[in-house]
Homo-oligomer: A and B are copies of this chain.
Amino acid sequence: MSSTGEAPRKNRGPAAAAENRQALIDAARDLFAEQGFSVPFSAIARRAGVGQASLYRHFPDKVAIGVAVFEENLRLLEARPVGLHDFLVSIADQAKVSASLLEALVTSRSPLAEDLAVRLSAIITDMIARDDLPPGTTVDDVQAAVSMVAFHTAAAPTPDAAERAIAIVERGLRAL
């Protein structure tokens, strides 16, 4: 990240813009995990070593950068498919950040959020086949499990709470 420290001072074109955007997403991911979604928006630019103007050019608000963090998580799941258990753990990790970010993502009617929902549903379809879930398991079933784990973990963000919740819904889905 320190290599981007100079970035806001001169316009180094599209490559620098992409670097700044990535530095902002990395900083947001760390800060949300450390301090929750209530961290001041401007703190993200400071942590990234990027100017405030650049922050606002890439992301109009905290929800937008939250969506970008979530989008990157989806991209990782698309690139390296995992089974039901690791999938739910990844959702719970993401949800620990904040109930308000989660609610913003779920209720957002933006095209970007709808695109993410479509990709999430494709990841789930793929996982149902790969992880040998019982015949008859639907995307809606897994989405309900995802939502339950996510909202519960957001409300009670302890490692123990997430593990317990995942164990229950995982048994529930496998016993279908």
Chain A residues within 8 Å of B, Cβ to Cβ: 99, 103, 106, 140-141, 144-145, 147-149, 151-152, 154-156, 161, 164-165, 167-176
A102 → chain B, closest Cβ, in Å?
8
A99→B145 CA distance, assembly (Å): 18
Q: In the assembly, how many copies of this chain are there?
A: 2
Residue of B with least CB distance to A100: B103
List B contacts of A161 (CB < 8 A).
144
> Would A144 and B170 be within 8 Å (CB), given that A151-B155, A155-B103 are in contact?
no
What distance in Å separates the Cβ of A105 from its nearest Cβ neighbour in chain B?
A: 11
Whether the Cβ atoms of B164 and A144 lie closer than 8 Å is yes
A39 to chain B, nearest CB (A): 19
In the bound complex, what is the Cα–Cα distance between A99 and B171 (angstroms)? 26
Give the contacting residue for A168; candidates B99, B103, B155, B169; CB below 8 A: B169
Q: Ordered nearest first, which 3 A-B pairs have the shortest CB separation?
A: A172-B172, A151-B151, A148-B148
Q: Is the CB of B172 within 8 A of A168?
A: yes
Q: Give min CB distance, A38 to chain B, whole Å.
A: 14
Which chain B residue lies CB-closest to A99?
B103
Q: How far in angstroms is the closest Cβ of chain B from A84?
A: 12
Query: Among A140, A148, A151, A175, which residue has the most Cβ atoms of chain B within 10 A?
Result: A148
Is the beta-carbon distance between B164 and A173 smaller than 8 angstroms?
no
